[in-house]
């Protein structure tokens, strides 16, 4: 799987040491990941994240420390599972600081996948300057809430809105969790379109076959990109006025923020040159 991941058309590869690894081989898996990531960095064409085990268990601390020491320069971020409060993020941050220089550039992402995590999403999002994203973990969240995973996307609206608002208030990304029915393309498309319309920045995949649909959903359409560029150009020319009419629509600073987001997505997808 790690070998295949090198060629995937994803923005980020998340290497999982938590739920995807059997208890009996946790240490072996950590060593394998350390071996892979301490090799040539250029072998991966995407950002690399590692989902470590919870610090509440017997493997999490070793995951953080050993991987940061062995392969810190190759790890863009660590994903913290089952985060229930700010202290869970702060604890990982402290371990990385203790490691020192090799962990200096490692960022953090927090999985919100329990009722407690959902309740404390705001404080989690603001817990550390290292934190880049909140991610919804549907499988564990469903178990925590006692609800079925097979619900339509709209039935998760409270959790989605809670995570989104917390992320936006803290200035971090909001990432939707994976759609677990890997052969259900229509269900995946509906799920991805739903969270993109809400304002999410991206969505996890659990199978390479899901990437094309997710990438297409979060990549701006040519007409969206063209409209965003027209809005930015119009607002650049208004010479101190706060708003202007464009094709019968009032546009202002809020329009500008949305347009910038679309242009940034287009640039990230390689549709535009330059930097965001």
CA dihedral 211, 213, 214, 215 (to 10 degrees): 80
pLDDT of residue 106: 98
pLDDT of residue 41: 56
Q: Which residues of the chain have pLDDT under 50?
A: 275-276
Residue 156 near residue 177, CB atoms below 8 Å: no
pLDDT of residue 241: 67
pTM comes to 0.88
| Residue ranges of the chain that CATH labels 3.20.20.60 | 2-218
Residue 145 near residue 185, CB atoms below 8 Å: no
pLDDT of residue 74: 93
Q: Which of the four CATH numbers 3.40.462.40, 3.40.47.10, 3.20.20.60, 3.90.1150.10 does domain 2-218 have?
A: 3.20.20.60
Q: Which helix (H) or strand (E) holds 259?
A: helix 253-268
The 10 Å Cβ neighbour count of residue 127 is: 24
DSSP code at position 207: S
CA dist 81 and 129 (Å) reads: 18
Distances (CA, A) of 158 to 11, 30, 106, 198: 27, 35, 31, 12
pLDDT 10s digits, 70-120: 999 999 999 999 999 999 999 999 999 999 999 999 999 999 999 999 999
């Amino acid at each position: 799987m790690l070998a295949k991941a090198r060629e995937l058309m994803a923005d980020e590869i998340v290497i999982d040491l938590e739920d995807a690894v059997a208890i009996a081989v946790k240490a072996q898996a950590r060593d394998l990941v350390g071996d892979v990531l301490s090799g040539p960095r250029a072998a991966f064409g995407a950002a690399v994240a590692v989902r470590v085990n919870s610090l509440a268990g017997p493997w999490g601390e070793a995951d953080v420390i050993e991987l940061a020491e062995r392969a810190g320069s190759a790890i863009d971020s660590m994903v913290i599972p089952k985060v229930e409060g700010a202290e869970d993020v702060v604890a990982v941050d402290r371990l990385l600081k203790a490691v020192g220089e090799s962990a200096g550039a490692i960022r953090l992402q927090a999985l919100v996948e329990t009722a407690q995590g959902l309740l404390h999403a705001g404080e989690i999002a603001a817990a550390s300057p290292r934190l880049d994203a909140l991610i919804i973990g549907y499988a564990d969240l469903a178990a925590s809430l006692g609800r079925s995973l097979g619900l339509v996307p709209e039935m998760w609206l409270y959790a989605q809105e809670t995570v989104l608002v917390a992320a936006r208030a803290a200035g971090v990304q909001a990432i939707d969790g994976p759609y677990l029915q890997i052969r259900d393309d229509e269900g995946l498309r509906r799920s991805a379109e739903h969270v993109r319309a809400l304002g999410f920045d991206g969505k996890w995949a659990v199978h390479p076959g899901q990437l094309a649909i997710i990438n297409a959903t979060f990549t701006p359409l040519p007409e969206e990109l063209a409209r965003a560029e027209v809005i930015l150009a119009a607002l650049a020319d208004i010479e101190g006025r706060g708003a202007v009419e464009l094709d019968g629509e009032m546009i202002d600073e809020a329009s500008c923020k949305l347009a910038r987001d679309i242009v940034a997505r287009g640039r990230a997808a390689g549709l535009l040159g330059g930097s965001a």
